[in-house]
Amino acid sequence: MELIGPGEEPAEGDDPLAALFTEGPSEPPSDPALARLFPDAYGGPDEVPDDATHAAAAEFRRYTENDLRTRKREDALAVVRALDALGPAGGRDGSGGTDGPRETDGTEGVGGTDATGGAAGPEGAADGAVLRLRPDESRQWLGALNDLRLAIGTRLEVTDEDESGELLRLPDSDPRKPMVMAYLWLGGLQESLIETLTA
């Protein structure tokens, strides 16, 4: 969320309708991770755009990037709020207790894991937590997980999926190792959530 930024909020007294039509930036971000999250709509990463392609990409970005940033912030906030509200055995009140049963209606557990990534305990276990997501929440989680992996992968300079094996073999003394483990774990969580949604 810090990388994406706080967003453009209308100043007090400003017309909120005018804020809806505020144009965004026309040039891609200089930070490589942000450029990966907000790529040009025209051309490719290895192409040198001609004037027409550059103009089309700039215009598309001007009218879409603010909305895209807003959606990415909302996805990230949904994840943060869900984890903040998580109590033992699926409680969602943030106090360590449960707030009663939630409507399931297509609800799925996230990858069969608790909030710390360990195996989820049985229902009612005091040492575990089970997070259940509705389909709309699952889509927000998938978006946020994807954004996290893209940002971390860019920082690690991951260019090919085959590099994950090489990254996994890094020695524990390598300062990139914690970020690599987070990258791989997030990928596993994302895959598990996709499998659950498509089952």
| Rg, C-alpha atoms of the chain | 20
From CA 167, how far away is CA 98, in angstroms rounded? Answer: 40
Q: Can you give the pTM of this predicted structure?
A: 0.70
How confident is the model over 62-85, as pLDDT tens digits? 888 989 999 999 999 999 999 998
Q: Which residue has the higher pLDDT, 62 or 140?
A: 140
Q: pLDDT-derived band of residue 109, with 50, 70 and 90 as boundaries?
A: low
Give the 3-state secondary structure of residue 109: strand
pLDDT(14) > 50:
yes
How confident is the model over 158-198, as pLDDT tens digits? 876 656 678 888 899 999 999 999 999 999 999 999 998 88
